[in-house]
C-alpha cells in the first residue's frame, strides 16, 4: 500500500474525476434485480396521507372534480383501499405508460406529477397488489401489478375487458364513471394494521387523520369548489354504505381579520438568475380555537412556512432549519405563505423535503423570520 503515496491528493482526485465521463473500456448492462428492488422501494416511508395525496394529485391532473377514498374490510382486517376519480381516464397506451416505474414525463408543467413514480410507489408502500381500471371516452382498460409479476422481471398483467368493466361499473357513489374515470385499487394490504382497539376504532382514526391532511393540503381546490374528496368504507362482498363524509377545507390562513395593523405583510425574496418570490407573512389572532389554527391540536408546531406548488400545499409549517425549535412558543401565531411557481421547480434550491435551505436563502428567510417573531411577540404582549 506504500505505493499509494506516490499520488498527491490533487492528482488522485483528477484521475478519479476523469472516470465520470471518459470511456474506460467495454461496458455491459447491469439490470436491477426487480425482486430486491421492490422490497427496498416498499420501505421508502410513504405515510397513508402522503400516498393518498399522490393519487389525488394524479386525479386532479386528469381533471377530476370528485375523488372517493374507500376502505374495504373483512372480519377485523382492512384488505383494500380504492381511490376512484371522475377525471379523463386513460386509454390502453396511457395506462401502460402509467404502470411503468418511471412513466414518461408529463408535458403539462402545471401538473402535480414530476417523477413518474407516485402511483406505483404510494400503492406498493401499503399493498402487495395494484389494480388500475380506467375508462376514457367510454372504452375500458385494466392493468395489474403483483409482487410476483414484478419479480418475474416487471411482468404486468392485462385485465380482461369484461373484468375491467365489471369493476368500474360497480357502485362507486358518488362518482359517475359512465364516460370516463379511474379506479385505483390496492389489494393484499399488508401495511395498514388494525390497532389493538379494533377495526372500527382504526377506521375512525384513519378517517380523522385523512380529513386533517387532505383538507389542509388540498384546501385551495376544495374552497374553490373544483374538488370534493369523499371518504367511506365497505365490507367486502356487501353493498356499499350510504354514509360517507366529504372532507372540509382547512385553510391555514383562514383567520378572518388580522390582529395587527399592517398584516398580512408581503416581502419579496430575490433569487439571482431566477426571479422574485413574494412571501406573505400572516399573524393569527391569539387564542384562536378554530380548527384552521389548531390543525389537529398542533398549532405551535404548525408555525412557519407554507409552500404551495400549483395551488397544492406541499409543506405545512416548520422553519426549515431557521429556528432551533419548530414549535418556538413566541412564534406560534406566525405563518408565511409562499407560492412556488412551477418554472422554479428545478432552480429553487430550498429543499422542502429535507429542510436544508442554502446559506443565502437562509439569510433572507432569517430576516423575514425576525420581523415575524417581533410582530408575534408584540401581539402576544
Ligand atoms: N387517476 C389518473 N387518471 C388519469 N391518468 C393517470 C391517473 N393516475 C396516473 N395517471 C397517469 O399515469 C402516469 C404516472 O403516474 P405517476 O403518479 O406514477 O407519475 P406522475 O404523476 O407523472 O409523477 P409523480 O411521480 O410525481 O407522481 C401519469 O403521468 C398519468 O399520465
Ligand atoms: Mg403522480
Inside any domain, residue 18: no
Ligand 1 centre distance from Cα of residue 64 (Å): 13
Atom of ligand 1 minimally distant from the CA of 121: 18
Tell me which of 212, 246, 280 is where a domain ends.
Answer: 246
Q: Which domain holds residue 337?
A: 265-379
- Check whether residue 221 and residue 287 sit in a common domain: no
Per-residue pLDDT for 20 more than 90? no
* Residue 12, in any domain of the structure: no
Residue 116 Cα distances to 41, 100, 107, 111, 315, angstroms: 14, 8, 12, 12, 21
Give the bridge partners for 269, in sequence order.
277
Domain boundary among 183, 211, 246: 246
Does 25 map to a domain? no
Q: How far apart are CA 199 and CA 206, in angstroms?
A: 10
What pLDDT is stored for residue 243 in this prediction? Answer: 87
Answer yes or no: do 190 and 46 share one domain.
yes
Question: Do 71 and 195 have their domain in common?
Answer: yes
Whether 287 is in a domain gets the answer: yes
Same domain, 185 and 84: yes
> Which is more confidently placed, 332 or 13?
332
pTM over cut 0.85: yes
Q: Is residue 85 part of a domain?
A: yes
Closest CA to 79 of 227, 171, 203: 203
Q: Is 65 exposed, middle or buried (0-12, 13-18, 19+ CB in 10 A)?
A: middle
Residue 212, domain member (yes or no): yes
Binned at pLDDT 50, 70 and 90, residue 331 comes out as: confident
170 is written with which cell numbers? Answer: 360497480
Position 255 in a domain: no
Distance CA 229, CA 215 (A): 9
Arithmetic mean of pLDDT, 240-244: 88
Q: Are residues 288 and 322 in the same domain?
A: yes
Q: Is there a single domain that holds both residue 365 and residue 328?
A: yes
Could you give the CA distance from residue 354 to residue 373 in angstroms, rounded to a whole number? 23
Condensed to tens digits (0 to 9), the pLDDT of residues 68-114 reads: 999 999 999 999 999 999 999 999 999 999 999 999 988 887 777 77
DSSP designation for 44: S
Residue owning the nearest CA to atom 6 of ligand 1 = 58
- Residues within 5 A (CB) of ion ligand 2: 58, 113, 118
CA dist., res. 200 & res. 195, Å (int): 9
- Structural domains counted in the chain: 2
Give domain status of residue 5, yes or no. no
Amino acid at each position: 500500500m506504500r505505493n499509494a503515496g506516490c499520488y498527491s491528493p490533487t492528482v488522485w482526485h483528477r484521475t478519479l474525476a476523469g472516470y465520470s465521463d471518459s470511456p474506460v473500456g467495454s461496458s455491459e448492462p447491469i439490470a436491477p434485480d426487480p425482486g430486491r428492488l421492490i422490497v427496498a422501494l416498499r420501505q421508502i416511508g410513504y405515510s397513508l396521507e402522503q400516498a393518498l395525496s399522490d393519487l389525488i394529485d394524479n386525479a386532479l391532473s386528469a381533471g377530476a372534480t370528485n375523488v372517493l377514498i374507500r376502505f374495504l374490510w373483512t372480519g377485523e382486517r382492512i384488505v383494500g383501499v380504492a381511490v376512484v376519480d371522475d377525471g379523463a381516464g386513460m386509454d390502453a397506451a396511457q395506462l401502460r405508460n402509467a404502470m411503468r416505474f418511471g412513466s414518461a414525463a408529463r408535458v403539462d408543467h402545471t401538473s402535480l406529477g414530476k417523477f413518474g413514480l407516485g402511483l406505483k410507489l404510494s400503492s406498493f408502500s401499503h399493498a402487495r397488489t395494484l389494480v388500475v381500471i380506467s375508462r376514457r371516452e367510454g372504452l375500458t382498460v385494466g392493468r395489474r401489478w403483483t409482487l410476483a409479476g414484478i419479480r418475474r422481471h416487471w411482468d404486468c398483467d392485462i385485465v380482461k375487458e369484461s373484468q375491467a368493466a365489471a369493476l368500474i361499473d360497480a357502485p362507486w357513489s358518488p362518482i359517475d364513471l359512465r364516460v370516463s374515470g379511474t379506479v385505483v385499487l390496492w389489494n393484499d394490504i399488508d401495511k395498514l394494521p388494525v390497532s389493538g382497539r379494533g377495526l372500527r376504532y382504526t377506521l375512525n382514526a384513519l378517517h380523522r387523520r385523512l380529513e386533517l391532511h387532505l383538507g389542509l393540503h388540498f384546501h385551495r381546490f376544495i374552497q374553490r369548489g373544483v374538488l370534493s374528496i369523499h371518504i367511506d368504507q365497505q365490507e367486502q362482498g356487501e353493498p356499499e354504505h350510504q354514509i360517507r363524509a366529504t372532507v372540509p377545507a382547512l385553510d391555514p390562513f383562514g383567520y378572518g381579520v388580522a390582529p395587527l395593523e399592517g398584516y398580512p405583510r408581503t416581502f419579496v425574496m430575490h433569487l439571482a438568475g431566477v426571479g422574485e418570490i413574494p412571501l406573505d407573512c400572516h399573524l393569527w389572532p391569539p387564542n384562536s380555537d378554530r380548527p384552521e389554527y389548531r390543525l389537529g391540536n398542533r398549532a405551535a408546531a404548525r408555525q412557519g412556512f407554507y409552500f404551495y406548488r400549483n395551488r397544492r400545499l406541499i409543506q405545512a409549517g416548520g422553519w426549515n432549519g431557521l429556528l432551533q425549535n419548530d414549535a418556538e412558543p413566541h412564534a406560534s401565531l406566525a405563518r408565511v405563505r409562499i407560492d412556488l411557481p412551477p418554472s422554479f421547480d428545478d432552480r429553487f434550491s430550498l429543499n422542502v423535503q429535507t429542510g436544508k435551505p442554502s446559506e443565502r436563502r437562509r439569510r433572507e428567510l432569517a430576516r423575514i423570520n425576525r420581523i415575524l417573531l417581533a410582530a408575534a411577540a408584540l401581539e402576544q404582549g
